[in-house]
Amino acid sequence: MGWGNIYRRRMKVFTVALIVYFDYKALQQREKLTKKSKRAALWEKAHERNARRILNLIVELEGLWVKLGQYLSTRADVLPGAYISLLKQLQDSLPPRPLQEVCRSIEKELGKSMDELFSEFVEVPLATASIAQVHCAILLNGQEVVVKVQHDGIKTVILEDLKNAKSIVDWIAWAEPQYDFNPMIDEWCREAPKELDFNHEAENTRTVSKNLGCKNKSDENVGTNQVDVLIPEVIQSTEKLLILEYMDGIRLNDSESLEAYGVDKQKVVEEITRAYAHQIYIDGFFNGDPHPGNFLVSKEHPHRPILLDFGLTKKLSNSFKQALAKMFLASAEGDQVALLSAFAEMGLKLRLDVPEQAMEVITVFFRATTSAKQSLETAKALTEQRNKGMKVIQEKMKLNQREVKRFNPIDAFPGDIVIFSRVLNLLRGLSSTMDVRIVYLDIMRPFAASVLEGNIEKGPKVNDQWIYDSPLHSNLEAKIRRLLLELGNNEKIMGIQVCAYKDGEVIIDTVAGVLGKYDPRPVQPDSLFPVFSVTKAITAGMLHWLVDNGKLKLDENVGNIWPEFRSNGKDLVKVHHVLNHTSGLHNAMADVTRENPLMLADWNECLNCIANSVPETEPGQQQKYHYLSFGWLCGGIIEPHHFQCTNCEFMVNSMCPGKNFRRFLKKPSFTPSKLKESYMSEFLQASVESRLAALTLDADDLNKLFGISNRSGLPEAFQPDRIVQLVTALPPLFNMLNTRRAIIPAANGHCSARALARYYAALADGGVVPPPHSSYTKPPLGSHPHIPKFPGKTPTKKKAGKNKEPATASKAKNNGHGQNPNHSKDSENGNHYRNPSSDSYTRLVGETSSSNRTDTGTTESVVVSNPRSGDKIFRNPRIHDAFLGSGEYGNLAKPDGEFGLGFKRYYAKDKSFIGFGHSGMGGSTGFCDVKNRFAIAVTVNKMSFGAVTSKIIQLVCSELNIPVPEDYLRSVEIGPDGQLNVGRPIIN
């Protein structure tokens, strides 16, 4: 192609582009002066006029522009009908090249004459496309074939057209910044030239055929993740010639033939969609050009789709393939945390933090298709949604109208996702063209799920890294790890953390499993779990701190602190009534949240709801668990005191319910590193959010709940039959970032077990903060971005103990970190013992060491404070009585009630008092035994009703020879066969 032709092509392209652009711009102005009844006809004429201009240009120029026209012709879901009806002519009916040119190309490529190659060659082509022309032929051996011959000189044309297309996209991005298609054209420029090598296409065809198992197809039913399509066999190929097996089929745009043969169009398009789901999610190798011209339907029953033309294919890395699957499933589950994690894994960066809008966009991306008749309405709805989203961005970024027009919310767009997006859009257009409805979430989900399930390797049977590799603190911890392996193999655990303190020191700090059902990242010591009502004990602690510092009185009327609360007979409700669950407001939020669960995320509305509520019983008379209302009651009490808090060294790193309550908790005095790694509400930063575990349900436990009888201490709205409905809705609701960032101060904490255990260890010692964990945990807690990595991608390193068999004392002896002067030393292995005369537990790692081993084997200095000389967060020597509503505080609590003042009372089987704590929906828990200076926390992300937690606590307490709380003895049990025996769940 000479420079003259190149210049002429370029001028024609830009001329038509400008004409079409200014035609529509003029129409926008003209529309304002036209009656509404005539506007639709005005636009229709413009669409037909401009579609014909574009069609004439494409037919004249051919080359890459035909590809563009073919793509546009499939977008019946977004383009006006005039474009579809005109541009679909480009799918297979371009003007043919002269036969002489075709024969010359064949002979040149194969080095033989036509007579030496074919016994018969059909002169009229089957189809003429943008790059090649296809003819039927019969080989000398009698086999029917199709011969695909590349147009002479097409390579130069394609490369030049790519440059022109890039220039037009650059111009559009400048003129209309919200329509920046540069990432797409850049990826196309990389991939399109590959279509010019038919050897490449031949190899692609063989690969896809093998991946989809297209050989020896039978009429038998195929499996869930198998597909039933046909792909022609490759006979011979060169750079510009491809000979394939001939398959007689019906074109998808031949409606009459499809109807005559009785083809089920819905089934055909569904099977094509399944074939692409298999290619993308399972194989990571897919055809990037699924326009109608690249499909046939076999004439023989059962009318299988025939897939053609594998010139434009895309190969995905294993990690990107998994990220795509995770993105899809996050959309299906409404899991914003997993969605943003998937974005990070694939390199998609947003300019601002709008998780709810990101979820909306992706949900739209994977939405079910609509018919061509509904496409305009769908397009209008999407435009309205986009405009609404841009208004949110405008308000958030404080942009003016001009800035909003030029604002692009995407900062980095990965090239790999461009072809994926194109494929999904082409499939959507194909569905609209065929006038069928495809529900992508239903069809693609099994393929995406199987990818992640295969790589997550949840269970310890197949994943030797299932238990996080860390040194053991005691031989009791080794037993806990063996128990976790057992429970994991019975599929009772998804992800879990267990941490325990004895006598002010850590004796267990073990984590295992993965962060979520579709999140293959391993749980780490600083991963954060949603713990639901476990948060109540932290919120209650804040109230007690205010009392301890003279800022609040337990017998004070709530209405004196919170004037709006006085209405509807609540003027007699006191602070201790709230803490003791005797305010009579146990069902205050039940109806509201049942009708609109998303209201939980609106702090002000929930406070108003509580303020306007009516007590069901007289304050102080009946103790009914305030499962939802407790948090907002406490929040309303605490909020006015935010400005008075100055010297508290407390238990959380960033907890922030309420506008003022948030400031109260954000104060440095209230949020030191002393007891950190618990988070609540909107101070969840990006590095923190990436550490969040995702919730899933234990379906077996849910079914067993129907057999549990009602409990008198729970309100009517929180009985087992109602809990089934509640629990089913919780995972998708609490996997949403806007819910996790919401102000739900007694149900929305995000804790690591070590933070929760450290909190209770401090409470057990009257508020004395225990020393921080040793720095052998690498990287330091909270300091790393926790970038997602998939199993098998991390270089193998030597471990202190194999995870399939937890490390024993002998295996871990070289991981010692010095000696504790309070413990005796074993002369053989240097292990530490609690007491020479007791075998309750054996210390393997000293907490008061002067040096710690790093991952590289080097040491670094560490200073660990004496657990008895740490900061004290409560001054009241009778603080335990305050927590429990006993002793001098006994008149403030129901003497026989399950709850003290904000904490659950725990008793042994013989009814003797043990300690206090709080459990949460789903099985997470934390409590302390004051007498034995013992504290433990368990966090889980597979929501059950306490069987796993109970099993762990029973083992720990029995090994330490301390009493087991009755709540963990009578809860749901796990039998020796791994099955559940229904008891009483530890739901509080």
CA–CA distance, 466 with 488 (Å, rounded to integer): 9
Give the tokens for residue 799.
Answer: 């471990």
Residue that is written with structure tokens 């035994």 in the block: 929
Tell me how far apart the terminal alpha carbons of the chain are, to the nearest angstrom. 78
CA–CA gap between residue 203 and residue 198 (Å, rounded): 9
Residues 524-533, buried b or exposed e (16+ Cβ, 10 A)?
Answer: bbbbbbbbbb
Structure tokens at 345: 């894994």
Query: How many Å apart are CA 880 and CA 168, to the nearest integer?
Result: 73
Distance CA 687, CA 607 (A): 30
If residue 136 lies in a helix (H) or strand (E), which one and from where to where? strand 132-139
C-alpha 239/C-alpha 227 separation (Å) is 30
Cβ atoms of 95 and 60 closer than 8 Å: no
Query: Rounded to an integer, what distance in angstroms lies between the CA atom of residue 603 and that of residue 599?
Result: 8
Cα angle, residue 760 at apex, residues 918 and 862 outer, rounded to 5°? 145
Q: At what angle do helices 64-73 and 36-61 cross, to 10 degrees?
A: 150
- Is 289 a known active-site residue? yes
- The tokens for 570 are 């609540």
- Residue among 514, 528, 446 nearest 788 (CA): 514
What's the CA gap between 392 and 390, in Å, rounded? Answer: 5
Calculate the CA 263 to chain-centre distance: 39
Tokens of 277: 């789901």
Beta bridge partners of 146: 136, 244
Is the Cβ–Cβ distance between 907 and 899 less than 8 Å? no
The H or E element containing residue 496 is strand 495-502
For 16, other C-beta atoms within 10 Å of its C-beta total: 19
- Give Cα separations from 293 to 52, 66, 198, 971 (angstroms): 20, 12, 18, 62
Give yes or no for a contact between 329 and 445, defined as CB atoms under 8 angstroms apart: yes
Separation between Cα atoms, residue 506 and residue 488, nearest integer Å: 24
3-state helix, strand, coil in the chain (%, to 5): 45, 15, 40
Among residues 77, 92, 161, 289, the one annotated as catalytic is 289
Contact 773, 550 (CB under 8 A): no
Best CA proximity match to 676, nearest among 653, 654, 656: 653
Both tokens of residue 656? 């922030």
Residue with tokens 């043919």: 96
Which residues are designated catalytic?
289
